[in-house]
Structure 1
Amino acid sequence: MTDVHTTMTFHPQPRPGQPKPWDFPAPERSTLPNGLTVLRSRRPGQKVVAVEVLLAAPLDAEPDGLDGLATMMARALSEGTDKHSAEEFAAELERCGATLDAHADHAGVRVSLEVPVSRLDKGLGLLADALRAPAFPDGEVERLVRNRLDEIPHELANPARRAAMALSKELFAADLRCSRPRQGTEETVARIDAAAVRAFYDTHVRPSTSTVVVVGDLAGIDLDALLESTLGEWSGKPAERRPLPAITADDTGRVVIVDRPGSVQTQVLIGRAGADRHDPVWAAQVLGTYCLGGTLTSRLDRVLREEKGYTYGVRAFGQVLLSTPEGTGVSLLGISGSVATDVTAPALADTWQVLRTLAAEGLTDEERDAAVQNLVGVAPLRYETASAVAGTFADQVEQSLPDDFQARLYERLAATGTVEATAAAVNAFPLDRLVVVLVGDASVIADPIRELGIGPVEVVTGG
C-alpha cells in the first residue's frame, strides 16, 4: 500500500477593501404643458413602477386652529372622484394591482402609487383622477376625522411618540407649525370638515407647483404620451411655491419629564436642532453620528447595552424637518432609546460620559472605516426597489437638493476622515445644548436626574 500525503496550503484571510461609492441613478427631467415637473428613472427589471407626487401644501399653510387639515386632505384624496365613489375607486385600484397612499409632512403632501408596469396606464389614470377631481364627500371626510380622533389617544399612550411630541414643543416656538403634532390634536382635528378640506385643496394643490417622480422598467412605454393623457389632464391656476418659514430653536440644555406614574421603563429622547442637508458638514455629521449611535457596534450601544445592560438598544440620528436652498432649514439631531426606570439616571450619566470621551479622545480610524464600509457598501442594497429610488428623488425635490445629491453624498462619506467625522459628531451633540425628554415615572426618576446636574428639570403631566 502506498501512503498518499496531502500538502495543505493555508492562505491568509482576505481583508476588506475600500468601499467604492455607488453610482446612484440620475433622473431625467421634463415638464408637462400644465406645468407639472416630471422626474423619471428607467430601472431595468423593476416590473413594479413607483410613482411619487409632491404637492406644495406644507403643514404651515394650514389655517390657524386646523392643525391636521393637510393630513385629512391627503387621506381623502382616494375617497372618491368625479368618476368613482370611494368604494369604486378602491375596487379599481385593486383590479390593477395598485396601491395608493398619501401623507402630509412639514414640506408638503406626498402621494405614492405602486403599480405593475403592465397596468401603469390604469394606475396613472386613477392617480390623475384623485389629484384632478377629488370628491371630498361630507360623509367620507367625517369618517376620516373620526378615525383620526380615535388614533390620537393611542399615540399619546405610546412613549416614543409622546417623547417626540414633547421634544418638538420644547425646541420650537409655539407659533411655528413644527412645534405641534404633524397630524393635529383632538381639539384641532375635531374642527375639520369637508368644506375646510376642499378649501385647502383649492388653495394649494395644482400641477404648476407639483412634481411627479416615476421609477421602474419603462422599456417600450411612451411615458410622455401616457403622462400627458393622465396627469396632463390635471389643470389649475399657475402659482408660486409657498415659501417655507425660517426656523429658530431653543436648545438650551434642560430636562423635561413627562410623568407616567407606575411606568417600569423610561423612554429617553435627547435632541437639538441642527443644519439641513445643504450644510457642507452634513456628510461628516452623518458619518460621525453613525459611529456614535448608528448601529449595534456603535459607542452608545457598546456602553449602554453591552457593558451596562441598561437597554436593548440606543440610536443616534439626524432627521431633516425642513430644508431650503438658502440653508435656513432645520434638522433634528437626536439620541433615543428606552431603559428600566431604576437605571434612568445612570444611563444618562453614562451617555454624557460617552459624549465627553468622544470630545476628549475622538473616534478611532477603525470606527470610521467600519462606518464608511456600512454606509457606502450597503448603498446598492438599499435601492433594490423602484420605490426606494423614487422616495429618494422625492426627498431631494422636497429639500431643494440637486438631482445628484445622493450620489455625491456617498463620495463625500468615503472621503471623510476620522478627524472630520469626530468634529462633526462633537458639534452635533454639545453637552450644554441638549434638551432631554424622559417619559416615565417622575416620582422615581426626577430627584436622581436633578443630582446629575445636566440642566434644570421640569415635570409635566403625561398625555
Structure 2
Amino acid sequence: MTAVPRPTVAPPPQWSFPEAATHDLPNGIRLVTYDVPGQYVISVRLGLPVPISAEPRELEGVGTIMARTMDEGTVHHSAEELARLLERKGISYGAAISEAGLTLDLDVVKGNLGPALDLLRQILTEPVFPDSEVARQVRARLAEIDQERSVPGHRAALEFVATFFAEDERGSRPTGGSRETVSRITRDAVVAFHEEHVVAAGTTVALAGDLAGLDVHALVGDALGGWRRGPDRASSLSRAAALAADRDRIVIVNRSESVQTEIVLGAPGPDRSVEGGWAPYPVIGFILGGSPNARVDAVLREEKGYTYGIRSSFRPRRTGGLFLTSGSVRADSTPESVRLLVEILESGRDGFSEQEVRSGVDFISKTAPGRYATADAVADEAINMALDGRTTEFTTANLRDLERVDRARLDDAFRRFATGAGVALPGSPPGTGWTMVLVGDAATHRAAIEELGLGAVTVVGD
C-alpha cells in the first residue's frame, strides 16, 4: 500500500482592510468609499458626531426619539409613502444615537443607489416629525423603559452605569432617557434638536460595495452636497468620562426568589491610543472571558456548571474606556461564582501562557477576513473608526501590530490596565478596583457576599 504524504498547511497570507478612497465635500462631509467587488448590495453609513451628551439634561432621550422619527414623513412624502418608496427600491434603513454619535444605516441594491441617496437626503434634511408619530415613539420608549427594568441583564446594566460613572456624567443615565425626561419630549423639542445638531459639518459618509460603473462622488454630491453645513463641532468624547468616587463597591439589586443572579463587573480600561498599543487588549479580553474556551467559562461553565456563559471585553472610547464582564449564574452558586469570577479576572497579574497568547492572537487576526467580508461590515467599521477620530488605516495597522504581540507585551498590558484601573495587583486587597452589580435575591446572598471581603455591599430596590 502506497503512503500518501500529508499536505503541507501553509499559513494564511497577510490580510489588509479594504483600501479607502476619501473625498471631502464643500459643506463639511467626508466621503469614504470602499470598492468591494461582488458585493452588489451597497452599504451606506452616516456618522454624525452628535453624542447623547448633546441632549438637554431635562430632555434626555430626545436624540433617540428624533432618530426614530426622522423617517416618519418628509416634506414631500407621508410616512406611508416613504415606507412604500423604501420597500419598492429595495432599501433597508435604520438610525440610532449612542454615546459616540448619531448613525444612519442604508443598504440598497446597486442599481438603486441614486434614488436611495435622494430619499436619505429627504430623511436627513426634510423630516416633518408629525405630532402623532413623536407621541407614538414617546409612548413606545416609555414602555421600553419598563421592559428594560424587568429584564435582569438590562437592569444590571442600568445600575452599573449609575454606580460606575459620576452622577453628573451623561453615561451614568440611560441612553434613551428616563421616564421623567422622555415624558417631557414634544415635537417642538425634537425639531429644535434636529435643527441644531443634524448638519453636514463633521459628518462622515462611508459607502462600500461593488462600485464598478458608479460615479459615487457625483451621486453623493448631488444628493448631499446641498445639505446645510452648520457649525463645526468637536466630539465630547475627547475627554475622559468622570467616574464616581465610590465606584469601587458591590450593589445588589434585590429581586426576591430569583432563580438566577445577573452579574455585571467592570473597571476603567484603555482607549485605542494607550501606551504600548491597543493590540494586546482584545487578546486579554479573549483569554479571560471572550470565548467559550476562555478562563471564565472553563471554570464557571465547564468545571462548575454555574452558568451558560459569561463574557468579558475591553470597550474603548476616544479617551479612556471600560473593561466589562457580564452574564448570569445559578442563584445557589452566587457567592462562589462572584469569588471565582474576581479571582479569574485578576489571574492576569500572574501572566499568560504561550498557548493562550497564540490562541487569542490567531483568533482575532485570522478571523478578520471573515468579519469584514461583507460591504455592511466594512462600512460599519469605517463609521466606528470615524466616530473615534480615526480611519480604517488603524484597523490594518492594529492587525499588523497584533502579529507582534507576545507574552511579554500581554503581561505588560495587563499590568498597565490593572494599575490604571486600580485592579488588584500583588499586595492589593482582593477585588480592589472593581464595580460590581448583582441582580438577585439580596436576602439570600448579601451576608455571603460581604464575607468575601471584596468591597462594601449596598442593596437597592428592584
2:263 maps to which residue? 268
Q: Structure 1 residue 200: deviation in Å?
A: 0.6
Pick from 350, 353, 357: which aligns with 1:364?
Answer: 353
- Kept in 1, the 8 Å contact 2:89–2:108? The answer is yes
Q: What residue is the counterpart of 2:171 in the other structure?
A: 178
Amino acid at match of 1:104: I
Among candidates 330, 334, 338, match of residue 340 of structure 1: 330
3-state SS in 2 of match to 1:207: coil
Cα distance in 1 for residues equivalent to 2:14 and 2:306: 36
**Partner SS state of residue 459, structure 1:** strand
Name the structure 2 match of 1:416: 405
Q: 1:93 aligns with which of 86, 89, 92?
A: 86
Asked if the contact 2:264–2:438 (Cα under 8 Å) also holds between the matched residues in 1, the reply is yes
Structure-2 residue corresponding to 1:313 = 309
Structure 1 counterpart of 2:200:
207
1:435 is the counterpart of 2:435: yes
Aligned equivalents of 1:161, 1:274: Cα separation in 2: 21
Q: How big is each residue's C-alpha offset from its partner over 1:334-368, in whole Å with a ceiling of 9 and x where there is no partner?
A: 111110111011111112332454323x2110111
2:428 match: none
The one-letter code matched in structure 2 to 1:103 is: A
Residue in 2 that maps onto 1:459: 459
Q: Measure, in 2, the Cα distance between the counterparts of 1:409 and 1:205.
A: 32
Q: Return the alpha-carbon distance in structure 2 between the equivalents of residues 31 and 236 of structure 1.
A: 12
Q: Please give the alpha-carbon distance, in whole angstroms, between the structure 1 residues aligned to 2:230 and 2:47.
A: 17
Q: Contact (CA 8 Å) 1:171, 1:273: kept in 2 or not?
A: no
Bigger drift between 443-452 and 423-432 goes to: 423-432
User: Offset at 1:427?
Assistant: 4.5
Paired residues for 1:159-308 under 5 Å: 159-241=152-234, 243-244=236-237, 245-250=239-244, 252-280=247-275, 281-308=277-304
Give the C-alpha shift of residue 43 in structure 1: 0.6
Query: Mind listing any 5+ residue stretches in structure 2 that lack a counterpart?
Result: 425-431
In the alignment, which of 72, 77, 80 is matched to residue 70 of structure 2?
Answer: 77
Q: Which digits, 9 at most, give the CA deviation of each residue in 1:207-251, with x for residues without a partner? A: 122111111111101111111221123224343335445412247
Deviations 1:43-78 (A, max 9, x none): 110101111111222111101211111111111111
Which residue of the other structure, out of 334, 350, 353, is the alignment partner of 2:343?
A: 353
1:385 alignment partner in structure 2: 374
Q: Which residue of 2 aligns with 1:3?
A: none
Of residues 45-54 and 351-360 in structure 1, the stretch that sits farther from structure 2 once superposed is 351-360
Between stretches 114-123 and 346-355, larger displacement belongs to 346-355
Q: What is the DSSP-based 3-state SS (H/G/I as helix, E as strand, rest coil) of the residue aligned with 2:155? A: helix
Matched length: 448
CA distance in 2, matches of 1:155, 1:20: 45
Choose 278-287 or 47-56, whichever is displaced more.
278-287
Contact 1:106 1:178 in 2 (8 A): yes
Q: CA deviation at 1:198?
A: 0.6
SS of 1:192 mapped into structure 2:
coil
Question: What does residue 56 of structure 2 align with?
Answer: 63
How does the TM-score come out when normalised to structure 2?
0.93
Which deviations, in whole Å up to 9, do the C-alpha atoms of 1:295-340 show, x marking residues without a partner?
Answer: 11111111111111111111111123x31xxxxx232211111101
Q: CA deviation at 1:442?
A: 0.5
- Aligned-pair distance for 1:425? 3.4
- Indicate how the Cα distance of structure 1 residues 356 and 88 shifts in structure 2: closer, same or farther if over 3 A, else same: closer
* Amino acid across the alignment from 2:329: V
CA contact (8 A) 2:270 2:417 kept: no
Consecutive unaligned residues in structure 1, runs of 5 or more: 1-6, 324-328
Q: CA RMSD in A?
A: 1.7
Q: Give the SS at the match of 2:154.
A: helix
Give the share of equivalent positions with the same residue, in percent.
Answer: 38
